[in-house]
Amino acid sequence: MQHSEELRAGPGPSPAMQILRRTSVLLWAALVAAGCQTTSPRPAAATAAGSLPASEPLVTNPRNWPDIFSYADPESFVTRSFALDLDVDFAASQLRGTVTLELDRIDPGARELVLDTRDLQIAAVEAAPAGRTEFKAVRFALAPRDDVLGAALRISVPRDAGRVRIAYATSPQASGLQWLQPAQTAGRQMPFVFSQAQALHARSMVPLQDTPWIRTTYTATLRVPAGLVAVMAAESDPGNRRGATEFRFRMPQPVPSYLLALAVGDLEFRALGPRTGVWAEPSTLDAAAREFEDAEAMLMKTEALWGPYRWGRYDVLVLPPSFPFGGMENPRLTFMTPTVIAGDKSLVGVLAHELAHSWSGNLVTNATWRDGWLNEGFTTYFERRIMEAVYGEDRARMEWGVGYQDLRQALDELAPDQAWRGALAPDLALHKGGEGSSVAYEKGALFLYQLEQIYGRAQLDAFLQGWFDRHAFTSVTTPQFVGELQQGLMAGAPGRVDPEFLSRWIDGTGLPADARLVQSGALERVDEQRERWEQGSLATAALRTDHWSAQEWLHFLNRVTRPQSRARLQELDQRFRLTESQNAEIAHAWFRLAIASGYPGIEPALERYLTGIGRLKLIRPLYADLLKTPQGAEFARRVYAQARPGYHAITQRSLDRLLKAGS
Ligand code: BES
Ligand code: ZN
């Protein structure tokens, strides 16, 4: 890409940036907007990629700014902080009120502030000098809506203005909010609303500069109906309590917009440790507290590895089952799917993952979505290190093994024209968008593991601690990381890697041939049994699964050759009650095997699963599998029609596209 120099030079978007933005309108489906970890190629919606320059390698070309997913122009203005003052109106499914932005004018000549919005109603815009309250109405215009980026809000900012106040309301269909009826909650008595801002959804809640390159502090006042409790990923005012109708918050550390988060519902809190606790609906609280009881231990182990936790408290909010992700690392308050509550802590890797983001992601943040592996790859590596520290090496090795299979599958399923998606930091500007994939997660994690193996664990940990210290509360790019890696860890022990090492890992598509993998003896023994079982030399009744962990089950089910005979699957099902499994991951793996094998009898359970859960990673692959046969497709469409109203907008959007493509 050859645009950043022009960009840094002058006020307003450069021609190159404007071109990029225009092409982005055509090209981007929501890799980041959907963010789910599947790899199904979507139909080619655009053909403009051929007319753009070829992707330049990142190792040798440090220019991968700006953020093409935002209309914001940080060369003109940068938001330093904002104050939210909002009514949470359940009757209208709307947030309504004002946001006041405190701005730094980067270009003294800048007169136009461009904000990101999506489906917002803008009632009025006013400006005032910095630190003053004499607001005066100013001119503004909302540009036409782009499906992925939303609509740019252009505001005329007088020469002396440093603050802008916007009166607005969200749409009931806001992509970043889900408004739930009482019947969609665990308690079934009170309504619930929660947000999900990553990646491009903060702009559907607040007009702002929605790019991870910009960080702001904020304060917020939320007015809610009596009896409901409001929480945010921020410091809660000591006066906040059930029964109040006004809740106040402040986030004193600068955070990127995708970490803005709120929820309102019938919520109760239970402490887990001095700095940790869990929020959930009352009927879910006991189970949640048991499942996540190791949160404090995880927090302390992580501090020992990568330095102090800098966010004060670490709490977990358990959401209703329609939450579209496994977890979301909102600072101080991780948002969590209830599907992780398996009763045996077998899926708490998600907790370790979201906690780890308190360093990789929240403290040091990917500057653009192309740099996403700096968030997710680092975090996946840290997740495994935390699991090792808290639950032992065997557990961590198994989780590496399950993750590796995901990566293998993701890479193997890439169509030749999609090979670019196998890169660690794929050039999003030059290619069609799509759903997210496990590449940034697992290849990124393996890259750090490779560094660990080559340079030593202690050296890598020290280097990473330095990285977090140097860049705390800033946003970073891939070339920045590569540069510091070369000058730090690698320069400290020269000659350990060949000259192509970095470009192989960073720019190469696919997994480098020299990748070192984490071996798991337990998973190898699962493979041995599975192979004998598949060959018929081991009867189903003779399978030794008594002490299998969820990871061993997942490894077994994911790797069984398909299709399997119905008789074989029936034996498995009868012996191990897989169709009835209460472990959402195991049920998912079983359903995939059953669908691929045409095993009958899962339909009622599968229908309950698909209508009961909205977590994309668990349900999207099942819909995709079903679409492969006419009968399955019919079932999928019937179930989807019924389930869709209960899904989050992010899930709806992703599945709408999938089902449309499959017809
Ligand atoms: N930050 C992600 C979730 C996300 C990614 C939301 C991209 C929107 C766009 C979160 O930390 C995550 O990775 N969640 C995983 C957890 C898992 C990998 C342990 C999930 O939701 O499954
Ligand atoms: Zn993550």
| Atom 17 (ligand 1) nearest CA | 350
* Predicted pLDDT of residue 188: 95
Q: Which of 355, 376, 380, 437 to mutate to test the pocket of ligand 1 (most atoms within 8 A of CB)?
A: 376
Q: How far apart are the C-alpha atoms of 402 and 442, rounded to whole Å?
A: 10
Distance 659 CA to ligand 2 centre (A): 26
Q: Catalytic: 552?
A: no
444 CB less than 6 Å from ligand 1?
Answer: no
Strand partners, 280: 268
Handedness of CA 482, 520, 345, 186 (dihedral sign): positive
Ligand 1 atom nearest the C-alpha of 436 is 7
Ligand 1 atom nearest the C-alpha of 372 is 7
**Beta-carbon contacts of residue 537 (< 8 Å; ≥ 6 apart):** none
Distance 328 CA to ligand 2 centre (A): 7
Give the three-state DSSP class for 78: strand
* Predicted pLDDT of residue 159: 96
Distance 484 CA to ligand 1 centre (A): 26
Pick from 659, 544, 551: nearest CA to 610: 659
Distance 617 CA to ligand 1 centre (A): 9
Q: How far apart are the C-alpha atoms of 157 and 142, rounded to whole Å?
A: 15
Handedness of CA 131, 135, 139, 142 (dihedral sign): positive
| Atom 21 (ligand 1) nearest CA | 326
Q: How far apart are the C-alpha atoms of 77 and 389, rounded to whole Å?
A: 44
- Residue of 168, 218, 314, 441 with catalytic role: 441
| pLDDT greater than 50 at residue 52 | no
Q: Which of 195, 325, 617 to mutate to test the pocket of ligand 1 (most atoms within 8 A of CB)?
A: 325
| pLDDT greater than 90 at residue 191 | yes
| pLDDT greater than 80 at residue 656 | yes
Per-residue pLDDT of 541-575, as tens digits, reads 999 999 999 999 999 999 999 999 999 999 999 99
* Predicted pLDDT of residue 553: 98
* Predicted pLDDT of residue 417: 86
Per-residue pLDDT of 271-311, as tens digits, reads 999 999 999 999 999 999 999 999 999 999 999 999 999 99
**Beta-carbon contacts of residue 196 (< 8 Å; ≥ 6 apart):** 176, 177, 178, 261, 323, 324, 325, 328, 335, 648, 650
Name the burial class of residue 28, with classes exposed (0-12), middle (13-18) and buried (19+) by CB atoms within 10 angstroms of its CB.
Answer: buried
Q: How far apart are the C-alpha atoms of 64 and 373, rounded to whole Å?
A: 14
Which residue type is seen at 656? D
Phi then psi dihedrals of residue 253, to 5 deg: -95, 140
| Atom 19 (ligand 1) nearest CA | 350
Counting ligands in written order, the one closest to the CA of 584 is: 1
Name the burial class of residue 392, with classes exposed (0-12), middle (13-18) and buried (19+) by CB atoms within 10 angstroms of its CB.
Answer: exposed
The mean of the pLDDT values for the chain is: 90
646 CB less than 6 Å from ligand 1?
Answer: no
| pLDDT greater than 50 at residue 445 | yes
Confirm if 572 and 541 have CB atoms less than 8 A apart: no
Q: How far apart are the C-alpha atoms of 560 and 299, rounded to whole Å?
A: 37
Distance 12 CA to ligand 2 centre (A): 33
Confirm if 265 and 191 have CB atoms less than 8 A apart: yes
| pLDDT greater than 50 at residue 581 | yes
Contacts 24+ apart (CB under 8 A), 591-594: 591/622, 591/625, 592/557, 592/558, 592/621, 592/622, 592/625, 593/557, 593/560, 593/562, 593/564, 593/569, 594/569
Pick from 110, 264, 60: nearest CA to 182: 264
Ligand 1 atom nearest the C-alpha of 198 is 8
* Predicted pLDDT of residue 434: 58
Distance 619 CA to ligand 1 centre (A): 15
First to last CA, the chain: 37
Q: How far apart are the C-alpha atoms of 151 and 117, rounded to whole Å?
A: 5
| pLDDT greater than 80 at residue 48 | no
With a pLDDT cut of 70, the percent of the chain lying above it is 89
Cα Rg of the chain, angstroms? 25
| pLDDT greater than 50 at residue 194 | yes
Sort strands 314-318 and 276-280 into parallel, antiparallel or unpaired: parallel
Mean pLDDT, rounded, for 442-469: 97
291 CB less than 6 Å from ligand 1?
Answer: no
176 CB less than 6 Å from ligand 1?
Answer: no
User: Which pLDDT band, with edges at 50, 70 and 90, does 426 fall under?
Assistant: confident
Q: How far apart are the C-alpha atoms of 26 and 473, rounded to whole Å?
A: 33
| pLDDT greater than 90 at residue 58 | no
* Predicted pLDDT of residue 23: 32
376 CB less than 6 Å from ligand 1?
Answer: yes
**Beta-carbon contacts of residue 599 (< 8 Å; ≥ 6 apart):** 564, 566, 569, 570, 573, 593
Q: How far apart are the C-alpha atoms of 369 and 389, rounded to whole Å?
A: 30
353 CB less than 6 Å from ligand 1?
Answer: yes
Ligand 1 atom nearest the C-alpha of 353 is 19
Counting ligands in written order, the one closest to the CA of 614 is: 1
191 CB less than 6 Å from ligand 1?
Answer: no
Strand partners, 231: 263
354 CB less than 6 Å from ligand 1?
Answer: yes
Counting ligands in written order, the one closest to the CA of 32 is: 1
DSSP one-letter code for 487: I
Distance 226 CA to ligand 2 centre (A): 34
350 CB less than 6 Å from ligand 1?
Answer: yes
* Predicted pLDDT of residue 227: 96
Per-residue pLDDT of 313-333, as tens digits, reads 999 999 999 999 999 999 999
- Residue of 281, 354, 399, 552 with catalytic role: 354
Ligand 1 atom nearest the C-alpha of 352 is 19
* Predicted pLDDT of residue 3: 30
Ligand 1 atom nearest the C-alpha of 354 is 11
Distance 23 CA to ligand 1 centre (A): 27
Q: How far apart are the C-alpha atoms of 121 and 205, rounded to whole Å?
A: 11
Please state, as a whole number, how many other Cβ atoms lie within 10 Å of the Cβ of residue 314: 24
**Beta-carbon contacts of residue 210 (< 8 Å; ≥ 6 apart):** 69, 70, 72, 115, 116, 200, 202, 203, 257, 258
Per-residue pLDDT of 94-134, as tens digits, reads 999 999 999 999 999 999 999 999 999 999 999 999 999 99
Distance 215 CA to ligand 2 centre (A): 19
Mean pLDDT, rounded, for 253-264: 98
Name the burial class of residue 143, with classes exposed (0-12), middle (13-18) and buried (19+) by CB atoms within 10 angstroms of its CB.
Answer: middle
Mean pLDDT, rounded, for 181-191: 96
Per-residue pLDDT of 349-383, as tens digits, reads 999 999 999 999 999 999 999 999 999 999 999 99
Q: Which of 353, 360, 383, 654 to mutate to test the pocket of ligand 1 (most atoms within 8 A of CB)?
A: 353
* Predicted pLDDT of residue 67: 86
| Atom 22 (ligand 1) nearest CA | 326
Ligand 1 atom nearest the C-alpha of 617 is 22
Ligand 1 atom nearest the C-alpha of 350 is 19
User: Which pLDDT band, with edges at 50, 70 and 90, does 663 fall under?
Assistant: low
Give the three-state DSSP class for 137: strand
**Beta-carbon contacts of residue 610 (< 8 Å; ≥ 6 apart):** 619, 622, 623, 639, 640, 643
Q: Catalytic: 441?
A: yes
Q: How far apart are the C-alpha atoms of 444 and 438, rounded to whole Å?
A: 9
* Predicted pLDDT of residue 367: 93
Mean pLDDT, rounded, for 607-613: 98
Distance 223 CA to ligand 1 centre (A): 29
